[in-house]
Amino acid sequence: MNIVLQCCALAMLVTLFLIFVREKNLDLHSRRLFFFALISCIICVSLDILSIIGINAAAAGNLPPFAAKLICKFYVASLTFQSYEAFLYAAGEFFEARKKRIFRTVYQIWTFGGMVLIFGLPIDYTLNGREVYSYGPATVVTYIVVLVLIVSTIIMAFRGNGYSTRQRRWAILLWQGSWLAAALIQLLAPSLLLVGFAAAFGMLIIYAELENPHEGIDRMTGQYTANALQSYVGDLYQHRRTFSSIHILVEYLTENVEMEAGKAAMLGIAEFLNRDRAAYVFRSADDGFVVIYRNRERMEAEYGRIRSGLQNAVSMPVRFRYIVMPDSSILDTADEYFRFHHYCIYEAEEKDELIVNRVTVAGMREYSDIKELIRTALDDGRVEVFYQPFYEVSTGRFSAAEALVRIRDLDGRVILPGVFVPIAEDNGLIIPLGMEIFRQVCVFLATGIPQKLGLNYVEVNLSVAQFERENPTEFAVRIMEENHVDPSLINFEITETANNSAKQVLLKNMNKLIDYGVHFSLDDFGTGRSNLDYFVDMPVSTIKFDYSFTQSYFQNMKAKDLLESMIDLMHKMGLKIVSEGVETLEQMRAMAALGVEFIQGFYFSQPLPQEEFLRFLQENNATSVVKERREHGGLRVSYTEGSAGVYGTGEMAVPGPSLDL
Ligand code: C2E
Ligand code: MG
Ligand code: MG
């Protein structure tokens, strides 16, 4: 009997089946489709063998011919079914994603209609030595139905570009192509019964190329990779299957962890997490782990075990942080899931645990909205620079100012930097934003008008993130040169960074810029972001006392003493001082009496839009006004409510004589 090839095919398929069901795998939709294709292939090859046995038995008179014909019908019908399953495998994702279920129904009707015809129409068979084949109307129908399905499968694999990778397209082409070639050969040489073998061969190709789960397994820990996580979460959201997840962030508490020790710790964690068979454990892109449960109660029970036991699974000091999402349906898409986790890492900065609920999700959506706001503001030119004047005590003039960024929303309202700068710093948008701010400042200074009105320089805030990503010296120098701005007109404000390597980069860049001619100020002194050792190390020429530090002077005696000795010390070091956040006459007097060089605060002015700032300088820096102020003590300051976006004017009086200016 001519069944050797089919038996080999069956052996191959059964082996594949056993490997497939035994291996560690993710319950992915495509995997399930592959499983059905595999089963239908096994049935088809088995029926192929049975039909040959049946035909031989009928020829020997051991089986009634109608029984042999019936087996043949089952066999050809299974061929159409198998082609349909292959088609679904190639096109299933496409139908799901595009909601083109109607097409699937058409193919269903085509296949099952074909099968009905196969059973209704006559079939016959031939046995001539090694040549065995069936023929007749039922076989013709089979050929037509299968051919259409194979061609559709290939077209689907190639058409659904967005859904199919190059690897997937070629694997499917090879699978279906070898099948088609085998059918053709068999048609021309009926003794070569290749179809069953080609089908099994095709399944092997698909398994090796597309369904091999080991590709998604991290070699170091044996857990699923971050890529596998993407596929799995994508699959779950696409098919609206809910889940719970625990994202574990791992932070070594010792510096310079040895490779081997790090590896051992990762293995320890992986092993611990993997004890629960109901959990799918993944490595995450941030070098932590994500554990997914299909059952919420299970996750809740396991979470306690993980929190209490994980620390013992590693032999070095490690800090674990947890982002727990009890119900995945709180988010809409896999894309949102990953964006959300990125956001949580930023949001949960110092927290050990973050339970994802509607409030955190709302926060994330706001974060995304703000990111979008920054992008569109940059594109549409809605980034604006306001200027807040500094009062120079020794001259009685407003001789410097701080540039403070704002974004104007579509309704014309002003959005304060506290809302968007931290987010821009987090996601890198601070680079284009910082350039835009600096460009606007330089364009403003290039007009020469503020200088004519008595302005000596502008302070521009720089974020540490701006020093980390792009070479800041290049961008700053380029913008100054493009606008022919004298570097002595620029004073960059920096804040402290806890990160030592960032500090070294900062220092290097600062020195380059200082050589070029700009100066630096240390911002936010007294907030814990800028401390004593910092200004000793950093080549700054000015220290800015933060709002809270200035305010504390008036609130407790210790702070008062501290501030006084600080000022003394700083002056001895040749540093100038700007006192920020001065809101009242009393504060302004006290600061001036303490000997600070500059005073910045709402007492004099809020940050002003460019035009209003020029008007402010014009009104308050005119020689006659300064003279009058010095002689009679009457300072008229236009007052603008910039921050709320409501502009109004008011007047404030600064008494001169009592200040001893
Ligand atoms: P900062 O650099 O410490 O700026 C001083 C902040 O104090 C400004 O807030 C200013 O409006 C506010 N301020 C000034 N005087 C008073 C006062 O008398 N009372 C009170 N309560 N506040 C006063 P603003 O403009 O909202 O900026 C907040 C922070 O955003 C800035 O703090 C700075 O860290 C950041 N920022 C602002 N503009 C930029 C920028 O262009 N680039 C970067 N990287 N950061 C910026
Ligand atoms: Mg500042
Ligand atoms: Mg400040």
Check if 465 has its Cβ closer than 6 Å to any atom of ligand 1. no
Atom of ligand 1 nearest to the CA of 524: 3
Of 340 and 406, the structure prediction assigns the larger pLDDT to 406
The boundaries of every CATH 3.20.20.450 domain in the chain are 380-632
Q: How far is the CA of 434 from the centre of ligand 1 (A)?
A: 15
- Beta strand 383-392 with 397-408 is antiparallel
Atom of ligand 1 nearest to the CA of 437: 41
Q: What is the pLDDT of residue 186?
A: 84
- At the second CATH level, the architecture of 380-632 is Alpha-Beta Barrel (3.20)
Q: How far is the CA of 624 from the centre of ligand 3 (A)?
A: 31
Residue in 390, 402, 404 to alter for ligand 1 test, most ligand atoms within 8 A of Cβ: 404
Which amino acid would we find at residue 490?
Answer: I
Q: For residue 660, is pLDDT > 70? A: no
Residue in 398, 491, 580, 610 to alter for ligand 1 test, most ligand atoms within 8 A of Cβ: 580
Q: How far is the CA of 507 from the centre of ligand 3 (A)?
A: 20
Atom of ligand 1 nearest to the CA of 544: 3
Check if 582 has its Cβ closer than 6 Å to any atom of ligand 1. yes
Model confidence pTM above 0.75: no
Q: For residue 258, is pLDDT > 80? A: no
User: Which ligand number lies closest to the CA of residue 403?
Assistant: 1
User: Distance between CA atoms of 176 and 568, rounded to whole angstroms?
Assistant: 84
Which residues, chain by chain, have CB under 5 Å from ion ligand 2?
461, 493, 523
Nearest residue (CA) to ligand 1, atom 30? 417
Q: How far is the CA of 404 from the centre of ligand 1 (A)?
A: 6
Return the H-helix or E-strand segment holding 171. helix 166-188
Retrieve residue 374's tokens: 């920054």
Check if 392 has its Cβ closer than 6 Å to any atom of ligand 1. no
Q: How far is the CA of 654 from the centre of ligand 3 (A)?
A: 23
Average pLDDT over residues 301-326: 90
Cβ atoms of residues 390 and 617 within 8 Å: no
Name residue 522's beta-bridge partners. 494, 543
Q: How far is the CA of 297 from the centre of ligand 3 (A)?
A: 48
Following CA atoms 169, 170, 171, 176 in sequence, which dihedral angle do they give, to the nearest 10 degrees? 90
Cβ atoms of residues 600 and 391 within 8 Å: yes
Q: How far is the CA of 265 from the centre of ligand 1 (A)?
A: 43
Q: For residue 152, is pLDDT > 80? A: yes
Of 48 and 212, the structure prediction assigns the larger pLDDT to 48
Nearest to 513 by CA among 485, 541, 542, 474: 474
Q: What is the pLDDT of residue 351?
A: 78
473-521 residue pLDDT tens: 888 999 999 999 999 999 999 987 767 777 888 888 899 999 999 999 9
Check if 44 has its Cβ closer than 6 Å to any atom of ligand 1. no
Nearest to 196 by CA among 70, 54, 41, 53: 41
Retrieve residue 322's tokens: 């947890």
Of the listed ranges 91-100, 516-525, 624-633, 638-647, the least confidently predicted one is 638-647
Q: For residue 232, is pLDDT > 80? A: yes
Q: How far is the CA of 604 from the centre of ligand 1 (A)?
A: 15
Of 3.40.1280.10, 3.40.50.170, 3.30.70.270, 3.40.30.10, which CATH number belongs to 217-356? 3.30.70.270
Check if 494 has its Cβ closer than 6 Å to any atom of ligand 1. no
Residue in 419, 425, 461, 520 to alter for ligand 1 test, most ligand atoms within 8 A of Cβ: 461
Q: For residue 638, is pLDDT > 70? A: no
The boundaries of every CATH 3.30.70.270 domain in the chain are 217-356
Q: What is the pLDDT of residue 513?
A: 93
Residue in 421, 437, 475, 610 to alter for ligand 1 test, most ligand atoms within 8 A of Cβ: 421
Record: fold of 4-214? Rhopdopsin 7-helix transmembrane proteins (1.20.1070)
